[in-house]
Chains A and B, each alone.
Chain A
Amino acid sequence: MVSVNFISPITNTCKAAYNKLPSIVVAKDSVINGVAHIGQKWTSPHQRAILGITAIVMQPFLDWHNKKVDEKTRKVSVARTCAKIIAGTLTGVALRYGFIKGIKAMSTPLAKVPKNASNFKQKMMTCLTPSEWDQKDMKALEQYQFAMGTMWSLVAMMFTNFLIDAPLTKFLTNKFIAIQHKMDQKGENKV
Chain B
Amino acid sequence: MIPPMKWFSKSYVFEKFSKNPANMLVVTGVLGWVLSSAAQIFAIAINDKISPKEKMFLIPQEIADAVVNCVSFYTVTSGVKYIGKKLTNTAKLRTDAVSKLLKDRGLILEKGAERVKNKAYAGDWNFDITKLPDYESKIESVYKPFNNGAEVIASLVGSIISSNLITPIFRNHYAAKKQKELMSYNKKNTQQNLTPFQQKVSFADYQKLIYSRPKSGNLKV
Residues of A within 8 A of B (CB): 14-15, 18-19, 21, 23-27, 32, 34-40, 42-44, 47, 50-51, 54-55, 58-59, 62-63, 66, 68-70, 72-73, 76-77, 80-81, 84-85, 88, 92, 128-133, 137, 140-141, 143-144, 146-148, 150-152, 154-155, 157-158, 161-162, 165-166, 169
Q: Which of B24, B210, B219 is close to A143, meaning CB atoms less than 8 Å apart?
A: B24
Q: How far, in whole Å, are A38 and B25 apart by their CA atoms in the complex?
A: 13
Q: How far, in whole Å, are A174 and B90 apart by their CA atoms in the complex?
A: 52
- A162/B43 in contact, CB under 8 A: yes
- B149/A39 in contact, CB under 8 A: yes
- A154/B31 in contact, CB under 8 A: yes
- B14/A130 in contact, CB under 8 A: yes
Q: Tell me the dominant secondary structure on chain A's binding face.
A: helix
Q: Within residues 165 to 195 of chain B, which ones have a CB less than 8 A from any CB in chain A? A: 165, 168-169, 172-173, 175-176, 179
- B31/A51 in contact, CB under 8 A: no
- B25/A47 in contact, CB under 8 A: yes
Total A-B pairs, Cβ < 8 A: 208
- B11/A66 in contact, CB under 8 A: no
CB distance from B64 to the nearest CB of A (A): 18
Given contacts A43-B24, A88-B221, A131-B11, 5 further A-B contacts (CB under 8 A): A19-B123, A55-B164, A72-B203, A155-B35, A166-B214
- B125/A146 in contact, CB under 8 A: no
Q: Which residue of chain A is the closest to B28 with respect to CB atoms?
A: A150
Residues of B within 8 A of A (CB): 7-8, 10-11, 13-22, 24-25, 28-29, 31-32, 35-36, 38-39, 43, 87, 90-97, 99, 122-126, 145-153, 155-156, 159-160, 163-165, 168-169, 172-173, 175-176, 179, 203, 206-207, 210, 214-217, 219-221
Most chain A beta-carbon neighbours within 10 Å: one of B43, B122, B125, B149 = B149
- B176/A69 in contact, CB under 8 A: yes
Q: Which of B20, B32, B173 is close to A154, meaning CB atoms less than 8 Å apart?
A: B32
Q: Which of B8, B22, B153, B160 is close to A152, meaning CB atoms less than 8 Å apart?
A: B8
- A80-B216, A150-B24, A157-B36 known; A24 and B153 CB under 8 Å? no
Q: How far, in whole Å, are A137 and B141 apart by their CA atoms in the complex?
A: 13
Q: Which of B94, B150, B210 is close to A25, meaning CB atoms less than 8 Å apart?
A: B94
Q: Which residue of chain B is the closest to A91 with respect to CB atoms?
A: B221
Ranked 6 nearest A-B pairs via Cβ: A39-B148, A39-B149, A35-B149, A36-B145, A68-B176, A147-B17
- A35/B153 in contact, CB under 8 A: yes
- A27-B96, A54-B160 known; A146 and B11 CB under 8 Å? no
Residues of A within 8 A of B97 (CB): 32
Residues of B within 8 A of A58 (CB): 164-165, 168
Q: Which residue of chain A is the closest to B90 with respect to CB atoms?
A: A18
Q: Which residue of chain B is the closest to A72 with respect to CB atoms?
A: B203
Residues of B within 8 A of A40 (CB): 21, 145, 148-149
- B164/A158 in contact, CB under 8 A: no
